Amino acid sequence: MVLKVEGLWKSFKTEQVLKDVGFSLQTGEILAIIGRSGSGKTTLLRCINNLVKCDRGSIMVDGIYLCRQVTDANGTKCVYAKGPEQLQIRKRLGMVFQSFNLFPHMSVLENIIEAPVRVFRVPRPEAEEKARRLLAMLELQDKEAAYPFELSGGQKQRVAIARACALNPLVMCLDEPTSALDPELREGIAQTIENLAAQGMGVLLITHDMVFAKRVAHRVIFMEEGEILAEGSKEEFFADINNERIKSFIAG
Amino acid sequence: MLDYLITLMPAMLSGLEVTLKIFFLTLVFSIPLGILVAVGRLSKIKPLVAVIQVYIWIMRGTPLLLQLIFIYFGLGLPTVGLQLERFTAALIAFVLNYAAYFAEIFRGGIESIDKGQYEAAKVLGFSPVQTFMRIVLPQVVKIVLPSVANEVITLVKDTALVYVVGLGELLRAGRIASNRDVSLVPFVVVGVFYLALTAILTKVFQQIEKRYAYYQ
Ligand SMILES: Nc1ncnc2c1ncn2[C@@H]1O[C@H](COP(=O)(O)OP(=O)(O)O)[C@@H](O)[C@H]1O
Ligand SMILES: [Mg+2]
């Protein structure tokens, strides 16, 4: 088990966005979290990546707690890992944002090697070699000197994936990977995701695109209003839907 | 005529030297200070933000000439007793004043950076300082370059204000020669010097902007 989330709660002001969310992800597994827009999927991903702090619950990545629930005389609270541990977790987590967030002032290659070289002190030639291997795998070998503004949406996305892969993460998180793509590019990103999983990464995929989830996921979680309503292997999930709300979502 | 121009040159050039000294030293100190002030202004430390707001309000809300007078003559009054050297006083006034303007320019630039850039840096493990130096600041520089160029051109002309503390900069050298010779020619020469300086600076900034044109 490479990622485990338990009893996660998060609210923004008065709005309860995550309610007791828990699941786990195995090595090599593709888990799709599906649900309507506004159901809390992105917030969940942001909690896992420590971009927002959760109110309660625990998140464990490869045996290291990012945060855990602690109960003492003063009540229950959520305690976060210290800096060095957080950096260890960073290395194990890759994140591909919905809008990619590439660094516009850096070339494709620089985007990929910046963190390994600056943060994790990987020797530059080694980082470049790794980056070129990733670019070749993602069919971007002729783009290493290009700048993000010169790339198509699909190419930007693959650079973002390469950047997130540069530190050999164990978990890859992707937020709505099909939302910014032309329909004909969906099969390509599906194969890329399968490729990552085949290399042993756990893939956490967030989408409101049922067809895509059905195409690529091994397991599916359905979220609504911050709660997990159903969970199962893809086959179980799509064969045996007895929840009216999920049915209506799938029916579109 | 040419002979007359040549006799003017020694005084003019020593005036130019003072002008250039004030100009470059002001830039060297006020731009980094302006960036620091901008970062402080955008911090979540409330007392710091309040202090910076007052500082910027005073620097932008009063004439630079008044600030010069205040720092040189005001602090030099017996009741305060902090008599600075002419050049030091002028430089402090210029740096404090220009840092306030640069701070506002950089603040706008920093605020215009998409928060997704900070998030991408964070998930890649960058520290806040690395994020600022490697991701944010290089993009801000490109954005603020035109406004900074404007401010720098203004600074060239503002250096003429240091005459008030008795420093012999370019304009003062011109006025002395003009009074002595009862001629407008020295002022024409001074004007040509300022025009040449601003032309060079305009060119320099064009080059820098070109260097930053590699991305959009
Ligand atoms: N930073 C925030 N501040 C306040 N409310 C937020 C914030 N981020 C998300 N929300 C709210 O949380 C809810 C879930 O949003 P989100 O996690 O983006 O859902 P999804 O990704 O499933 O569309 C929405 O109602 C949204 O308005
Ligand atoms: Mg979302």
Give residue-wise pLDDT tens across range B179-193: 999 999 999 999 999
Neighbours of A168 (CB within 10 A): 13
Q: Contacts of residue A50 in chain B, CB cutoff 8 Å?
A: 122-123
Mean pLDDT by 10 residues, chain A (252 residues): 94 93 96 94 96 94 92 84 91 96 97 96 96 95 96 95 95 94 89 95 93 94 92 84 71 66
C-alpha A190/C-alpha B26 separation (Å) is: 57
A102 touches chain B (CB under 8 A): yes
Residues 6+ apart with CB under 8 A from A137: A162, A195
Q: Contacts of residue B138 in chain A, CB cutoff 8 Å?
A: 105
Give CATH for domain B2-215.
1.10.3720.10
Please report the pLDDT score of residue B32 as a whole number: 97
Ligand nearest, relative to CA of residue A97: 2
Across the interface, of A90, A101, A102, the residue whose CB is closest to B119 is A101
Please report the pLDDT score of residue A172 as a whole number: 97
Neighbours of A4 (CB within 10 A): 16
Contact call for B116 and A103, based on CB within 8 A: no
Confirm if A31 and A25 have CB atoms less than 8 A apart: yes
Contact call for A105 and B120, based on CB within 8 A: no
Confirm if A104 and A98 have CB atoms less than 8 A apart: no
C-alpha A120/C-alpha A195 separation (Å) is: 25
Residue with CA nearest ligand 1 atom 3: A12
- Kindly report, residue by residue over A209-241, the tens digit of the pLDDT: 888 999 999 999 999 999 999 898 888 888 777
Please report the pLDDT score of residue A252 as a whole number: 63
HSE-up of residue A160 (Cα within 13 Å, Cβ side): 31
Q: What is the mean pLDDT of chain B?
A: 95
Please report the pLDDT score of residue A31 as a whole number: 97
Contact call for B116 and A149, based on CB within 8 A: no
User: Cα(A15) to centroid of ligand 1, in Å?
Assistant: 9
Domain A3-99+172-251: CATH architecture, name and number where available: 3-Layer(aba) Sandwich (3.40)
Please report the pLDDT score of residue B195 as a whole number: 97
Please report the pLDDT score of residue A145 as a whole number: 96
Confirm if A226 and A21 have CB atoms less than 8 A apart: yes
**Residue written as token pair 């030639």:** A125
Please report the pLDDT score of residue A22 as a whole number: 96
Residue with CA nearest ligand 1 atom 12: A17
**Residue written as token pair 């109110």:** A55
Across the interface, of B123, B125, B215, the residue whose CB is closest to A104 is B215
Residues whose CB is under 5 A from ligand 2 (ion)?
A 42
Mind telling me how many Å the CA of B204 is from chain A's nearest CA?
21
Interval B197-201 mean pLDDT: 97
C-alpha B181/C-alpha B45 separation (Å) is: 58
